[in-house]
Amino acid sequence: MSEFLLEILTEELPASHVRAGLEQLKATLSVELSAAGLSEGQDIRVMGTCRRLIVLAEIVPRQRDRREKVIGPPKAAAYKPDGTPTPAGLGFAKSRGIDISQVEVYATERGEYIGFTKSAPGKPAEEILPEILVRVISGLSFPKMMRWAENPFRFSRPIRNLLGLVDGRPLDFEVAGLRSSNFTFGHKIFHADCKIQPRSFEDYRSSLGEGLVVIEPNARREMIQAETQKLLEPLGAQLHPEPELLEKLTYDVEHPHAFLGSFHPDFLSLPLEVLSTALREGQHLFSVVKAGRQQPLFVGVADAPDDAKGLIRQGNERVLKARLKDADFFWQQDLKVPLAERAEGLERVVFQERLGSYEEKAQRLKKLAVYLCDKLDASNLKKEAILAAELCKADLLTDMVREFSSLQGRMGGLLAREQGLAAAAGRAIYEHYQPAGLEDASPASTLGAILSLADKIDSIVGALGLGIQATGSSDPFGLRRNAHGVCKVILDKKIDFSLGRFLDKALEAYGPKLERPAAEVKAATLEFFAGRLRYIFEKGGFRYDLVSAALGPGLDNIHHFSLRLNALNGLRSSPQFEPFILMAKRVNNILRDQPAGRVNHALLAEKEEQELWSVFGIVKENATPMMAKGDYSQAQKMVFRLQPALNTFFDKVLVMAEEKRIRQNRLALLQAISRLLSRIADYSQVVVEGEKAQ
């Protein structure tokens, strides 16, 4: 085997671009290498920093010899009826440098053709790789792309060097007007002029290590964590957890160095949320806590071997001081104005151009929050709900949120607490933007969940009501994020309510503002949610067909949808499952295109149909309260009990009886069963093994 090494050296890539680039390199190269016969399924390793995308792969040094068919003219044109070759046949053979006697006849889809089998000797990897690399590197795509110099080529950031080696021998290729080389460079400040000519990956890795570049992201993350621990352990303190910041810093540096700095303890009068945001968003610094309390300290990560003279720390402290002064000024100013007074300004803040101001939104949120209080057994919270809905957007007018928009909601909650508002309302305001995505936590308080649902549903209905959609990578109104938030809150809190009726309420609150008819918007919203639920659960590892089946009874109650899906998923490997699915499908097939009817007990002539009817009665009576309670597993197991009676029924009774009345009655019996089943799942969506084989 041979060792293949690729390094794309660039100007600083954003962390998310490094990850996107590496993922694509791994995926496309593994396809290309095996298609070219250069890989036999060996693992491809990718790694990188903000300045390099690196690939390491084991490859076959030379392709296997290949045999390929060369097809010529149709047999009918190549030979006369008597079997002697025509000029066309002879011409083909001559043009390919073979004798006509070597020509064979191949049956193709279009008929019989003449041709021959050519054996092509495998080429060495070094000959094939350049073409592949040009294609793969040019095909990389990033969330935002750019051009540089006079080059039409587009990439995330300018490419400055290309290194490609097979067993230490340089490959020759050209991308973006740049010719590949057999060297690279170390850290841009500390080892910029030092050319590294690696002979192998190990050599590459260790030379770059000496050049102050740690190429593996995991190694850099561990360095940051270990150094941080060394700084904080003696103090008995920890980092305030900021996983996204840690991830960004891991990629933003080639050689991490963690350093500890401090700020004046006076700034500790600022809330932890404000301090940590000012540290993180302004300067990418971590906050430090001890026993849950913020310390006047921070941890920064520099792209340097050390901070021997302490200049990096001092510089950061100086800048931080000015930032915290700003934040403190904002906090003091913002505290002076009561939230209620602040909220008066909301009529001048546009929520969406055609949907009006945040003041109007607050009015709608009041109605929706009150409705939810009633539905969710929280009527005692109505007063606080109204207050929270009125004030939850007021912090958009604070200087703090203007400076740090990520504090929206939390800032309002903090001000509410400082200004002595009802605790439940303050908490709800604090939490109402949560969850910001599927990974984020749902609001902890009931009222927080209520306000979060109201806010998100109002935004979704408003956008869809104007025909604003999420398409491909573009989602200007955050529709997907909001819908994920709604689903997550409902699922986390097991909220048992009708989404449809809540949508009616939201549509009613908008009144004539929406440009599309209410029924259309409602249908579009439900369809949108079906898509999002599908995404969420398939990402969570549920089978596609089971998700479809559980969506069958509808998604009016999202909590119940999840219970149905979990029940199906839990029972999918039970012995009753597959035969039952096949039976349910059989029932559905018979009923296709049949008019609905009612069962007339007196017409149930045969013993087997009477038996089925009676078992059905018992099953239905037992299953119905189970479904109402959301216990779909028990309900499903109860419904399994129909199986023997159904089997006997199909064995012994002719459904399509001659006599119309009897026939219709038997169909009506099956319809009644089908209706019961359809409340648990649309079984016709489930794919079972037996079917796949057919």
Partner 1 sequence: MTLQVLIMRLQKFWAEQGCYLAQPYDLEVGAGTMTPDTFFRVLDRRPWRVAYVQPSRRPADGRYGDNPHRVQKHYQYQVILKPSPDDTQQMYIRSLTSLGIRLEDHDLRFDEDNWESPTIGSWGVGWQVMLDGLEITQFTYFQQAGGIDLVSVPVEITYGLERLEMFLEEKGDIYDLRWSDEVSYRDLRLREEKEFSAYNFEQAGVKGLQQMFNLYEREAAALIKKGLLLPAYDLCLKCSHVFNLLDSRGAISVTERVKIISEIRALVVEVARKYAAEGASS
Q: Is 160 in the site for partner 1 (CB under 8 A)?
A: yes
Q: Is 316 in the site for partner 1 (CB under 8 A)?
A: yes
Instruction: Give CA–CA dist 583/646, Å, rounded.
Output: 8
Which of 85, 91, 122, 158 binds partner 1 (CB under 8 A)? It is 158
**Region near partner 1 per CB under 8 A, out of 265-273, 325-333, 442-450, 667-675:** 325-333
Instruction: Give CA–CA dist 409/406, Å, rounded.
Output: 9
Which of 189, 226, 596, 618 binds partner 1 (CB under 8 A)? It is 189
- What's the token pair of residue 199? 């002979």
Which of 314, 332, 380, 574 binds partner 1 (CB under 8 A)? It is 314
**Region near partner 1 per CB under 8 A, out of 224-232, 310-318, 460-468, 584-592:** 310-318
Q: Report CA dihedral (393, 399, 403, 408) to the nearest 10 degrees.
A: -20
Helix axes 518-539, 446-465, angle to 10 degrees: 120
* Closer residue to partner 1 (CB): 144 or 692: 144
Q: Number of residues interacting with partner 1: please give it, by CB under 8 A.
A: 48
**Region near partner 1 per CB under 8 A, out of 312-320, 391-399, 504-512, 659-667:** 312-320
Contact flags string 227-266 toward partner 1, x per CB under 8 A? -------------------------xx-------------
Q: Is 147 in the site for partner 1 (CB under 8 A)?
A: yes
Q: What is each CA distance from 529 to 268, 348, 480, 486, 499, in whole angstroms?
A: 43, 32, 9, 9, 10
**Region near partner 1 per CB under 8 A, out of 149-157, 477-485, 541-549, 617-625:** 149-157
Which of 124, 130, 315, 500 binds partner 1 (CB under 8 A)? It is 315
Instruction: Give CA–CA dist 546/612, Å, rounded.
Output: 27
**Region near partner 1 per CB under 8 A, out of 133-141, 345-353, 404-412, 432-440:** 345-353
* Closer residue to partner 1 (CB): 126 or 252: 252
- Across-strand partners of 408? none
Residue 226: other Cβ atoms inside 10 A: 11
Nearest by Cα to 577 from 457, 448, 653, 690: 690
Instruction: Tell me how far, at minimum, the Cβ of 322 lies from partner 1, in Å.
Output: 5
Instruction: Tell me how far, at minimum, the Cβ of 249 lies from partner 1, in Å.
Output: 10
Contact flags string 35-74 toward partner 1, x per CB under 8 A? ---------------x------------------------
Q: For residue 388, what are the contacts with CB-CB under 8 A and spacing of at least 6?
A: 369, 424, 425, 426, 428, 429, 432, 447, 451
Q: Is 334 in the site for partner 1 (CB under 8 A)?
A: no
Tell how far CA 11 is from the center of its chain. Answer: 28
Instruction: Tell me how far, at minimum, the Cβ of 321 lies from partner 1, in Å.
Output: 6
Instruction: Give CA–CA dist 19/252, Å, rounded.
Output: 12
Q: Is 650 in the site for partner 1 (CB under 8 A)?
A: no
Q: Is 308 in the site for partner 1 (CB under 8 A)?
A: yes
Exposed, middle or buried: residue 116 (CB in 10 Å: 0-12, 13-18, 19+)?
middle
- What's the token pair of residue 436? 């910001």
Instruction: Give CA–CA dist 331/343, Å, rounded.
Output: 17
Which of 32, 126, 273, 303 binds partner 1 (CB under 8 A)? It is 303
| Whether residue 198 has a cis bond before it, omega within 30° of 0 | no
Exposed, middle or buried: residue 637 (CB in 10 Å: 0-12, 13-18, 19+)?
middle
Instruction: Tell me how far, at minimum, the Cβ of 585 lies from partner 1, in Å.
Output: 54
Instruction: Tell me how far, at minimum, the Cβ of 221 lies from partner 1, in Å.
Output: 18
Q: Is 179 in the site for partner 1 (CB under 8 A)?
A: no
Instruction: Tell me how far, at minimum, the Cβ of 144 lies from partner 1, in Å.
Output: 6
* Closer residue to partner 1 (CB): 396 or 479: 396
Q: Is 484 left (phi over 0), alpha (psi -120 to 50) or beta?
A: alpha
Which of 106, 148, 535, 577 binds partner 1 (CB under 8 A)? It is 148
Q: Express the helix, strand and coil content of the chain in percent, nearest 5 each.
A: 55, 15, 30
* Closer residue to partner 1 (CB): 329 or 544: 329
Interface residues toward partner 1, by CB under 8 A: 11-12, 14, 50, 144, 146-151, 157-158, 160, 188-190, 192, 252-253, 282-285, 300, 302-304, 307-309, 311-312, 314-316, 318-322, 325-326, 329, 348-350, 353
